[in-house]
Amino acid sequence: MSTVDNTIGAGGVTPPAAIKVWDPLVRVFHWSLATLFLTAYLTGEDAGQMHIAAGYAIAGLMALRIVWGFVGPRHARFGSFVRSPRQVLAYLRDVALRRAPRYLGHNPAGGAMIVALLVMLLETGITGYMMTTDAFWGAKWVEEVHETFANLTVGLVVFHVLGVLFSSFAHAENLVKSMITGRKRRS
Ligand code: HEM
Ligand code: HEM
């Protein structure tokens, strides 16, 4: 029995209604990433210094998040939210049947989305960098692959935000606010 349960058992103070789920690094990472992604996307057409700086900053954030996924606190760790395709599909079936459970950390579909976003953003960054190298300078195909990855990422972001909104309504909680404050309802 935890200290909190003991306290309740003893008729003492009630446990806090909300607990810390997202650590500061995850929150700063998230909103910096969203801002930089918008910046990189909107400056892609002329691909000046701003575009390249935003692109490299995103690549840096990806590296940081990957390391944090192994050494960060519980809810930031890949081990706590990356699930097998079978588990993700089972979760999505439960969503369709309106009986998906609530997760304190990322749900299995959210976990799959995070992996997809990280991979797609890394690929966008790598192909962007390739265009600046002698070997691929002016290579049309690299430019097209880069643009395709960027557009596919936009598609993922649309589903990401829809998923966040859907989950917020399904469990009557404001997940966007939680990504700002770091706190979520206990149960
Ligand atoms: C205004 C738009 C956005 C909103 C409202 C939003 C909201 C959120 C929320 C609420 C979460 C936590 C999900 C959960 O509770 O399980 C989250 C996670 C995440 N979002 Fe977004 N997001 C937005 C844009 C973006 C963009 C543009 C990207 C990337 C290009 C992105 C990438 C991610 C990633 C990687 C995570 C996982 C966070 C982590 O564990 O490090 N988001 N987002
Ligand atoms: C993940 C972050 C990035 C996103 C979302 C992104 C997005 C885009 C988009 C949408 C375009 C427009 C393609 C077109 O309309 O022709 C573009 C072009 C370009 N990007 Fe990125 N980019 C990113 C990272 C980078 C990086 C890191 C570099 C270089 C180090 C880079 C270099 C370029 C260049 C040189 C072009 C111009 C291609 C041309 O000649 O039209 N990008 N990018």
pTM confidence score: 0.91
Report the alpha-carbon distance of residue 135 to residue 110 in Å, rounded.
Answer: 37
Render pLDDT for 142-157 as a digit per residue (tens, 0 to 9). 999 999 999 999 999 9
CA atoms within 13 A on the CB side of 159: 13
The two three-digit tokens of residue 56, written as one number:
């490299």
- The total of other beta-carbon atoms located within 10 Å of residue 83's CB is 19
Render pLDDT for 52-99 as a digit per residue (tens, 0 to 9). 999 999 999 999 999 999 999 999 999 999 999 999 999 999 999 999
- From the CA of 129, the nearest ligand is 2
The two three-digit tokens of residue 111, written as one number:
């976990």
11 CA from centroid of ligand 1 (Å): 39
147 CA from centroid of ligand 2 (Å): 7
For residue 4, pLDDT beyond 60: no
Render pLDDT for 26-53 as a digit per residue (tens, 0 to 9). 999 999 999 999 999 999 999 999 999 9
Ligand 1 atom nearest to 29, measured from its CA: 41
Find the DSSP H helices in the chain. Answer: 3-9, 24-42, 49-71, 78-81, 85-96, 108-131, 140-170, 175-181
> What type of residue sits at position 11?
G
161 CA from centroid of ligand 1 (Å): 7
